[in-house]
Amino acid sequence: MIIYNVTSNIDESIHTDWLTWMKEEHIPQVLATGKFEKATLVRVLVEEDMGGVTYSVQYKTNSKEALEGYYKDYAPKLRAEGLKKFADKVLSFRTELQIIDEYSVTFN
């Protein structure tokens, strides 16, 4: 399993609009590409020196090939839409993660 992680720091002046856009438009559009099985939106619980509010979106896919297909066929257009809408009020960076093992607690 591969996680495509996008961490974004959002200027407080557009925070509510950005969060609504992510939930109602952007994440559903990314999932509609068929390249990911699931997305998780989380708020990062640290105060940034530069201010703003930070979020991470984790998109899960079963293969590196699916992620590469997303980069090639969909990412440029979807990224451009966000830049057009929010310009320099959002600072994002992306990482690729590979799940090695998952663990859970079992209660008796």
- 10: domain CATH number? 3.30.70
CB under 8 Å to 86, separation ≥6 — which residues?
A: 14, 17, 18
Residue 107's pLDDT is: 86
Does some domain include residue 65?
yes
Does some domain include residue 37?
yes
Q: Residue 50's pLDDT band (boundaries 50, 70, 90)?
A: confident
- Indicate the number of domains in the chain: 1
Whether 42 has a pLDDT exceeding 80, the answer reads yes
Does some domain include residue 93?
no
Which domain range does residue 76 map to?
2-88
